[in-house]
Chain A
Amino acid sequence: MQQSIEAVNLTKKYGSFVALSGLNLKFEGAKCVGFLGPNGAGKTTTLKLFTDMIRPSAGHALINGIDVHENKRDALSSCTALIETPEIYPSLTPAEALSMIAEIRGVSSNERNIRIEESLNEVKMLEWKDKKVGKFSKGMKQRVNIASVLISDPSIIMLDEPTTGLDPRGMSEVREIVKSLKRKNRLIFMSSHLLNEVTDVCDEVAMIDHGKLLVYDSILNVIQKFSENGSNIIEVGFSRAIDENIMEKIGKLENVKATSKIDETNLRMEILGDIKVQEALFYELANMKIGVISFKPSSSALESTYLNMIKETL
């Protein structure tokens, strides 16, 4: 069975204020879905509904088809979540705190210690394993929190701004963790304000504002559909310095509107067309044997799309 996350008419009201309004959304399989929206849009509210931390006013939050509010034990059995920044009992050590989660989740006792070490190692906190959490810095605590969602080897992971409070290296480590989870065929749902982070690790994005879903699609399609003139910005990376010759050749390709250099080895390419066009372009670039090593939508493109969309709903 494919792992899945599904919101059916999911609604949350606080008195007369609607924090989340009839959200319908479903993703399944192995991928990372970014969850975007301005402050107060309803991202955390959505994720809390998916972990039964709050009750829906209407609708259902389903994980693997099981309603979280009706059957939390089954729904969350292979799904972990990190929402906002939980605190760990200050007098416990990371090893103890993780051991508690592992026990609650039924990680077998002979596996527990290995899993604890592995997940602490992933977040670079192994040397702090037996120190009390109370004295940790904010970022160190968040690293332990991240370890806690890895401990039981879940198939679905929900993260609410996971890199909050982390240093730049910590952020990039978390990105690597998310990428490696994707390689292990996990389904990841991650809210974030960092659009470069989302462009880097996510395949698809869902954008919400004022509790309403604006769009859910692949990053490339979102950028293309909502960019101002229907064009799409792609960043192409090369293994060697780009010469004028190559620039010219690329500029002449079909559907390429404009090109510009970002730096010695990176090129920005404005293109017209959908995902099929992009596929064809990528194929052509690779065939030109000019040292292309990466091809991805530009994070600044996602940013301008994002800003456009949010503006529209104001």
Chain B
Amino acid sequence: MPNRVPSSIRQAFTVTKFELLNYVRSRRFIIMLGIGIIVGALLTLLVGHYRPSGFLASSIDFYSSWWGISATYIVILSGIFFGGDAISGEFQNKTGYFIVGNPIRRSSIYAGKWLAAFVASFIVLIVFLGITVLNNFYYFGLNLPYQFLESFLFTLLYLISVLGLTFFFSSLFKSSSVAILTTVVLMLFAFSLIQELIDAFVHVEPWFLITYGAGIIGNILTVPYPSHILTTHFGHVVVTSYAVTVPEGIAILVAYFAVTVILGLVLFERKEFN
């Protein structure tokens, strides 16, 4: 009797399950989790030892200095770790050949792998969140300002968006190292460089940068919320810096996700295994 092929959604979950198993087995997950824990531990030690006033002025200042700065890096690193070679690796290592010849849509493979990357990154973020909250508890007692909750949700949105982008690059390039390098250069250097150049010389709002959209993670923790446009004079040089507003930030992150996911999927559907 022939087997009935499960629904595309169930197949995607199957892919997720084995992808997660592979993360754990290949130590990729442990390494990323370790990075999250080390960053958390270093911050704990530094803040405990030097007691910087920026951190300890108030509970919300603490979250702003701690989470507002480091969370985006955890997100970017997770994106690179779990998404950087997700699709390109299937071609380069020929592991894709093992699965594509089966009655499964490529979109199920893409979605399943994406979900696995999200779950793995989410766990890392939760652990880092735990370290953050425990430290805050130590200095301020039980204190969870609603802004922090919002900031965490924005971080998750940023994660979704970053994974969309890394999957897109991994789908665009056949070589894993090129895909990873492109993501690293863009996310860690190029975007922030472009933003600074724009601030200094062009004076337009960099609404097209994902990193600008991610500004809401830190901005929401600044009370009061920073003003949208800030002009500073350095002698003759005028620097106009923009602080992204919450609706703008959400729109940028959602748009990045939507566009990259669609493009990444189209590329993967069209790519040939040869």
Contacts and interface: CB of A to CB of B under 8 A. Distances in A.
Interface in B1-51: 2-6, 8, 11, 14-15, 18, 21-22, 25-26
Contact of A96 (B11, B18, B100, B272): B18
B95 interface: yes
Given A72-B105, A87-B93, A96-B18, A103 B6 contact: yes
Contacts of A96: 18, 21
B274 to A, nearest CB: 6
B269 to A, nearest CB: 10
A83 B273 CA distance: 11
A100 B101 CA distance: 13
Contact of B3 (A51, A87, A108): A108
Interface residues of B, number: 31
B247 interface: no
A215 interface: no
A73 B100 contact: no
Contacts of B273: 48, 53-54
B2 A86 contact: no
A87 B97 contact: yes
Give the one of B99, B101, B104 with max A CB within 10 A: B101
A54 B274 contact: yes
Query: Secondary structure of the B side of the interface?
Result: loop
B99 A53 contact: no
Given A53-B274, A76-B103, A88-B98, A106 B21 contact: no
A132 B25 CA distance: 10
A224 interface: no
Contacts of A54: 272-274
Interface residues of A, number: 43
B104 A73 contact: yes
Contacts of A101: 98-99, 102
Contacts of A103: 6, 11, 14
Given A78-B2, A104-B104, A91 B93 contact: no
A107 B5 CA distance: 8
A81 B18 CA distance: 21
A277 to B, nearest CB: 41
A15 to B, nearest CB: 13
A103 B95 CA distance: 17
Contact of B5 (A51, A85, A90, A105): A105
Interface string B96-121: 11111111110000000000000000
Contacts of B14: 100, 103-104
Given A83-B101, A85-B94, A97-B98, A107 B274 contact: no
Contact of A53 (B26, B100, B103, B104): B100
Contacts of A89: 18, 22, 25-26, 95
22 contacts: A53-B273, A54-B274, A72-B103, A72-B104, A73-B5, A73-B8, A74-B5, A76-B101, A76-B103, A86-B95, A86-B98, A87-B97, A88-B95, A92-B21, A92-B22, A96-B21, A97-B98, A100-B15, A104-B102, A105-B102, A152-B3, A153-B3
The 7 A-B pairs of least Cβ separation, nearest first, read A86-B97, A91-B25, A53-B273, A86-B98, A76-B103, A106-B3, A51-B101
Given A92-B18, A100-B18, 19 more contacts: A53-B97, A53-B100, A54-B273, A75-B103, A76-B101, A76-B102, A77-B4, A78-B3, A81-B101, A83-B97, A84-B97, A86-B97, A87-B95, A89-B18, A89-B26, A89-B95, A91-B22, A103-B11, A152-B3
Interface of B: 2-6, 8, 11, 14-15, 18, 21-22, 25-26, 93-105, 270, 272-274
